[in-house]
């Protein structure tokens, strides 16, 4: 029950040494993440980058999901950020998991999550991974082609299958679009259901993913209508569907964030989805979602140190190294080059892999009015030329040894970083920044959900 889950969370927090910052209206802290990062770097002689993981943000995103999409059970997409404390927290809140491989399934099971709370939602599975899912009792999975059906028949014949359908994600960048790789096209749906029927496989629902980082209204409308068409085709063939999986793609910024201002927010997507679920799918149909970035984006703040610097540098000499914008021809302007202890092969792989715009903040900000900014070129720590974090970014002159913060660095960052050139992945520090009790309501001791 809820109490057991809460104590499980408290255990995990204790093990992960979670720093609890209980805010009060008069604590004088205007920026709690910055406050905690400062405490860490001032009390320890750190030379490596780290991420500050605020578990409270995950909890708040969970509550926001439950409030706005109450019919949809979140199956957190582990690939987005497989941090064990985040996974344990989501499990303790009652969330489930979307795993894509044997490794992810194992990680989640090892944390005590039952196999019935996992969807193995990779449409193209290696046989050894499929057998592992079977042996561990993970039944729910997906397919989008006939070869996969034969493979499932041979190695996991009792699986419960969802047909992954194609979605139109052509307006997404190639880093977010998934439909080139996965999803059955409409003219194959009937035939695939027939093949499954012939193989006596149990098809129980439809799965789709509108594309990661989906920021256009209407994507879910089309996909939900298509899913409904598959429900009709399945009924005609004698299948009894019980699941609809609406995938991921939900934005991860907290309410009030200005990062993607003017683009659809979670609230807008939830308002698009909710009435369609009611209209198209009877209430006996269980609806799953597979949010990844929704939970992971905002909870991680990356703290990095400037460990080397080269300055001033003339533009002419830089142009040989890197293509700078052609509109500026101030050949002799002063520029600085900095080297950070985290780079393109670390958490900043998201710049290329996830189209992320890295936005630095100084741990100790300068006075905006009086400080001169210079076009700066910021590299990561490896000896590799493409290890670039920022080009021509206006920054005050930084000192070697100074720390920077990058917020919203939790999704597809540390999960896909590597140890290239011998630089280790950034380690995590955990905290819970708990907002002050609302003055309007009587304060009850904080519960997990």
Half-sphere exposure for 440 (CA within 13 Å, toward CB): 0
CB 142 within 8 A of CB 206: no
Q: Which residues pair with 388 in a beta bridge?
A: 379
342 is an interface residue for ligand PLP by CB under 6 A: no
CA 423 to chain centre: 23
Query: Given the complex with ligand PLP, which of 80 and 398 has the nearer CB atom?
Result: 80
For the four alpha carbons of 278, 280, 284 and 287, in that order, the dihedral sign comes to negative
313: helix, strand or coil: strand
Query: Given the complex with ligand PLP, which of 38 and 71 has the nearer CB atom?
Result: 71
For ligand PLP (CB under 6 A), the number of binding residues is 17
Residues 6+ apart with CB under 8 A from 83: 53, 414, 428
Stretch that binds ligand PLP, among 241-249, 266-274, 385-393, 419-427 (CB under 6 A): 241-249
Query: Given the complex with ligand PLP, which of 207 and 429 has the nearer CB atom?
Result: 207
Contact letters (x/-) for ligand PLP, 193-222, by CB under 6 A?
A: ----------------x--xx---------
Rounded-to-integer distance, Cα 382 and Cα 392, Å: 20
Query: Given the complex with ligand PLP, which of 117 and 334 has the nearer CB atom?
Result: 117
CA 88 to chain centre: 16
The nearest distance, CB 181 to ligand PLP, in angstroms, is 9
Q: Which residues pair with 74 in a beta bridge?
A: 289
306 is an interface residue for ligand PLP by CB under 6 A: no
Report 28-57 residues binding ligand PLP (CB under 6 A). none
73 is an interface residue for ligand PLP by CB under 6 A: no
By DSSP bridging, strand 403-406 and strand 19-22 are unpaired
Half-sphere exposure for 58 (CA within 13 Å, toward CB): 33
Contact letters (x/-) for ligand PLP, 89-108, by CB under 6 A?
A: ---------x----------
The nearest distance, CB 449 to ligand PLP, in angstroms, is 21
Query: Given the complex with ligand PLP, which of 250 and 430 has the nearer CB atom?
Result: 250
The nearest distance, CB 231 to ligand PLP, in angstroms, is 20
Q: Which of 96, 383, 418, 431 is catalytic?
A: 383
Instruction: Please state, in angstroms and as integers, the Cα–Cα distance from residue 246 to each residue in 97, 145, 166, 212, 222, following that order.
Output: 14, 19, 12, 12, 12
Rounded-to-integer distance, Cα 186 and Cα 191, Å: 10
Is residue 383 part of the annotated active site? The answer reads: yes
> In the set 58, 89, 133, 178, which binds ligand PLP (CB under 6 A)?
178
Query: Given the complex with ligand PLP, which of 77 and 273 has the nearer CB atom?
Result: 77
The nearest distance, CB 98 to ligand PLP, in angstroms, is 5
Reported in sequence order, the residue ranges of 284-365 that DSSP labels E, i.e. its strands, are 286-289, 300-313, 335-340, 360-362
> In the set 61, 121, 341, 349, which binds ligand PLP (CB under 6 A)?
121
Residue reference for tokens 């409409």: 186
List contacts with ligand PLP (CB under 6 A).
77, 80, 98, 121, 178, 209, 212-213, 247-250, 290-294
Q: Which positions are catalytic?
A: 383
């Amino acid at each position: 029950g809820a109490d057991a889950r809460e104590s499980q969370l408290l255990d995990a927090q204790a093990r992960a040494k979670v720093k609890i910052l209980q805010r009060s209206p008069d604590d004088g802290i205007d920026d709690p993440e910055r406050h905690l990062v400062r405490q860490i770097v001032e009390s320890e002689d750190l030379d490596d980058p780290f991420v500050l993981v605020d578990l409270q943000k995950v909890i708040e995103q969970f509550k926001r999901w439950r409030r706005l999409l109450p019919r949809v059970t979140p199956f957190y997409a582990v690939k987005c950020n497989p941090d064990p404390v985040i996974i344990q927290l989501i499990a303790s809140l009652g969330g489930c998991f979307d795993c894509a491989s044997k490794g992810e399934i194992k990680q989640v099971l090892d944390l005590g999550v039952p196999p019935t709370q996992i969807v193995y939602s990779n449409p193209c599975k290696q046989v050894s991974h499929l057998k592992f899912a079977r042996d561990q009792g993970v039944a729910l999975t997906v397919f989008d082609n006939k070869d996969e059906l034969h493979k499932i028949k041979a190695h996991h014949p009792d699986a419960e299958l969802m047909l992954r359908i194609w979605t139109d994600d052509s307006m997404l960048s190639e880093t977010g679009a998934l439909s080139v790789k996965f999803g059955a096209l409409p003219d194959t749906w009937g035939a695939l259901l027939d093949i499954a029927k012939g193989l006596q496989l149990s098809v129980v629902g439809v799965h789709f993913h509108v594309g990661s980082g989906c920021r256009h209204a209407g994507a879910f409308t089309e996909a939900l209508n298509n899913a409904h068409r598959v429900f009709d085709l399945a009924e005609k063939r004698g299948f009894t569907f019980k699941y609809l999986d609406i995938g991921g793609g939900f934005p991860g910024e907290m309410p009030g964030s200005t990062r993607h201002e003017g683009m659809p927010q979670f609230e807008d997507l939830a308002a698009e989805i909710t009435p369609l679920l009611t209209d198209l799918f009877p209430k006996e149909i269980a609806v799953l979602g597979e949010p990844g970035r929704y939970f992971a984006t905002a909870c991680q703040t990356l703290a990095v140190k400037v460990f080397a610097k080269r300055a001033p540098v003339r533009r002419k000499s830089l142009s040989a190294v890197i293509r700078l914008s052609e509109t500026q021809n101030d050949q002799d302007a002063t520029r600085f080059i900095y080297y950070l202890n985290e780079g393109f092969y670390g958490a900043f792989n998201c710049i290329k892999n996830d189209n992320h715009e890295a936005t630095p903040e100084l741990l100790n900000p300068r006075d905006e009015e009086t400080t001169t900014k210079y076009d700066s070129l910021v590299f990561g720590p490896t000896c590799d030329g493409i290890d670039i974090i920022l080009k021509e970014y206006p920054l005050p002159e930084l000192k070697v040894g100074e720390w920077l913060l990058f917020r919203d660095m939790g999704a597809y960052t540390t999960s896909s970083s590597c140890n290239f050139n011998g630089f280790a992945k950034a380690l995590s520090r955990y905290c819970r920044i708990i907002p002050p009790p609302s003055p309007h309501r009587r304060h009850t001791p904080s519960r997990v959900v």
